[in-house]
Structure 1
């Protein structure tokens, strides 16, 4: 198969990978084949942001090997889906992209067969964790298919991004549990590690590496990627509380129910209106009425406006950073357009 340098080409690579895994899984157990079918479904329907970043960067620098770029782009999409699966278990999320998460689906299977809620939850969590592990392995298997000259460099980029993502996730959990102090500086660092590294900086750098660029381009793309990632996460946190569920495909009570420590919450801390309802934040039984009280407090304290203002300031700063790089002009234009999209997106 000769893949082309488009997002459709990425879909071809993923379709072939999942078809092969589902075929191989079938003799090993019906529920194992079902896991792979659900992993395929979980990887569909996304924005394909990371593959696009890699492919656009690769093309901007000359695109010497389209097939390698398509394969690597598919690997980054698998990496993203894998981390979402793990994140859903950690955050106890039941929906993703407008449909049940893998963990929720397997838990529902167990419940329908008459198992207790505890057993059903354990089955769902175990299935999703194993699914995430399998997709991480599959991502590395795809990277192993690119030409030897850049294979090790790509593997290092992925390894570093996963290392940082785990650090960010660990911080996020610590903030939520209260085992670490969530200062604004630490929250921003968590965003840089958990989201910005693997979602933006890594695919940008991978596209440049596949094109054979030097260290300066990699350094500039790292800087731009981190800025884009923090901007993305700030907007995501805002949508996670005030977004339209029909457009985002995510609950607007989940972050509040989990007591997720975001800059939105940090801006509200210590304000009387927030202190009056803070006992509801992180309540596992939080209902929509309680969530609405928390949202009202976030507005009253000025936290929502402060977050919106920060997003705009970061948007302008990121555009300035992009303009100061030596990246190809076409790529700079694409990155500026992406910056504006991330700052204004509704889903």
Structure 2
């Protein structure tokens, strides 16, 4: 069965739009200085050699569901979301001190290694960190450029710009709240849900849908229906991500086992465990959570605490409930038939994945 990410040949078309855009940007960088080939190479690898293209898929089918006609211009416009995603992930890996992404060195580790290989002066880690900040910023700048040079009519772009701007503000705010929960130790379910909503839920599903809808000139009732479908589904997507961050197979996720635990992530999964555990086990969870030296035995112990507390089951139940709410909203919406079918399949792909 064809993946919903492949319908309308979307994934290779998004890849092509990104490759064409990045080739143009490479030429611009090299015209400045040949040393910027390292930057172009890193962004090419990060953007083109991985990623599910989930956000462009939601935007594209949100557009088609509102009656928009297929074109290479709309594909280029929704491909801009992949550059926003690249920016978020590059910065996220830096903040989390993650060594890998999709089984390859994270950008800050890549540039630290480049520093070491060249025998340059100063601290390699500091150079890698600086490079990651700048490359993440560049990807965010380029996302704006790809959107407004996509060939979309100016009137359509004018409707879409506020959605695009709001999405980027929300995801940045959500990232800050995520960092804040680690240092404050806020392990409440309320805070965990808010972080999930703004760091991922709105940015992964709701805002891409609304971006596509705005490009198509969708009526207000459809915009409301897309929010009713997109927000709970996006939260379910993030909860699945949180489960995989603790219980996922590194061979599939491309991240070391237990990274979220070492980073001290106060996710819904962790908050549910914190609320359910007795005083002694809660203290153990608090002590071990966020320990960068947590070994495999420590990871297994925290997994057992979370599972035995009932938090894993509770999180799975919430994923199911949120997904059901999303699908109920979609069923009642006035969405073009083919798009409705693909959005149903995308909901399944977003919440039942193993990576």
Shared topology, TM-score over 0.5? yes
Indicate conservation of the 8 Å contact 2:270/2:311, yes or no. Answer: yes
Indicate conservation of the 8 Å contact 1:5/1:67, yes or no. Answer: no
Match of 2:81 in 1: 76
Match of 1:28 in 2: 32
Structure 1 pair 253/5, CA: closer, same or farther in 2 (3 Å)?
closer
Deviation at 1:64, TM superposition (A): 3.2
Match of 1:99 in 2: 104
Kindly report which structure 2 residues correspond to 1:280-299, keeping only aligned pairs within 5 A, or say none. Answer: 280-299=288-307
Task: Render the CA deviation track for 1:235-265: whole Å, top value 9, x for unaligned.
Answer: 0000011011111112222110010001111
* 1:207 pairs with 2:207: no
Does 1 or 2 have the higher relative contact order (CA < 8 Å, sep 6+)?
Answer: 2
Kindly report which structure 2 residues correspond to 1:161-200, keeping only aligned pairs within 5 A, or say none. Answer: 161-178=167-184, 181-200=186-205
* More divergent stretch after superposition (58-67 vs 289-298): 58-67
Match of 1:13 in 2: 17
Kindly report which structure 2 residues correspond to 1:323-338, keeping only aligned pairs within 5 A, or say none. Answer: 323-338=331-346
2:57 alignment partner, one of 32, 35, 52: 52
Whole-angstrom CA distance in 1 between matches of 2:137 and 2:285: 39
1:242 alignment partner, one of 247, 262, 266: 247
* 1:320 pairs with 2:325: no
Could you say what secondary structure the match of 2:123 adopts? Answer: helix
Indicate conservation of the 8 Å contact 2:285/2:305, yes or no. Answer: yes
Deviation at 1:104, TM superposition (A): 1.0
What RMSD in Å do the two structures reach over aligned CA positions? 2.0
Could you say what secondary structure the match of 1:64 adopts? Answer: coil
Match of 1:43 in 2: 47
* 1:268 pairs with 2:273: yes
Whole-angstrom CA distance in 1 between matches of 2:341 and 2:92: 33
Whole-angstrom CA distance in 2 between matches of 1:68 and 1:220: 25
Whole-angstrom CA distance in 2 between matches of 1:343 and 1:331: 18
Indicate conservation of the 8 Å contact 1:5/1:69, yes or no. Answer: no
Structure 1: runs of 5+ lacking an equivalent: none
Structure 1 pair 9/337, CA: closer, same or farther in 2 (3 Å)?
closer
Whole-angstrom CA distance in 1 between matches of 2:21 and 2:147: 13
Indicate conservation of the 8 Å contact 2:67/2:336, yes or no. Answer: no
Whole-angstrom CA distance in 1 between matches of 2:99 and 2:161: 32
Match of 1:233 in 2: 238
Match of 1:64 in 2: 69
Whole-angstrom CA distance in 2 between matches of 1:13 and 1:329: 26
